[in-house]
Structure 1
Amino acid sequence: MVFIFGAHFHDASLVKRSLETFYGIGPMVSQRIMARFHIFPLAKVGSLKNAQVMDLTEELTNMKIENDLRREVQENIRRLKDMGSYRGRRHAMGLPVRGQRTRTQISTARKLNKIERGGAGHVRL
């Protein structure tokens, strides 16, 4: 087991997948990080040297990921709601924010708005 930025990873797991488990790191960011430290795209976590693990941990501490990023997103949504903007009202009502169709296909957007963004459901402003 390898310990990277507060999380344990199995030796057989891919480095790319392990990096993508952190909130705020997607495929392109993980690919850039691996290229920066000369890590092969199909490398396993167990094959990393201690220096590479330390470099990855240091890089992740400099990035805004996990709780810091979640807090920033929540603050941005709260700011939109306080301003009373269109996007803020859509967040408050639990409706799609980015112009998606609401006549028929709204259940998934409602579900996502309630769970991830802490929407209040059917609140009218």
Structure 2
Amino acid sequence: MQKRIKNLFKDNFYIIAILITITIAYLSLMRMPKLKESFNNIDKVYHLSAYFALSICWLFSFYKKKSLKYVIVISCIIFGIIIEVLQATLTVYRTGDYKDVLANTLGILLGLFVFNQILKKITVNSY
């Protein structure tokens, strides 16, 4: 079962990463309906989750090129900043927020941490 899952994702991480990137950009710039929030700043959890998924997918897309790891992380952070700037400048119904940038960055760093732990486990188990 694990081999089938591994083979399914092996060549598709690029596609998944591109789709997540496009989805985040689209959802970040479109008009969203007002939702009743169950607690304040729930959107920060959404930001953290989205950018966690973004970073994990891009990191696994290039996992064999370990030298690109930090380039990917920095690129994801810059992408998050650009999206926030675009929200503030291109739309009248969305606002850019530095707290969103912090939540995005935290999600990316969490993704890097999880990625490193998974690679460590894979490396240890392969010997």
Max Rg structure: 1
Per the TM superposition, whether the score is higher than 0.5 is no
TM-score (norm 2): 0.29
Instruction: For CA contacts below 8 A with separation 6 or more, give which structure has more relative contact order.
Output: 2
Which structure has greater helix proportion? 2
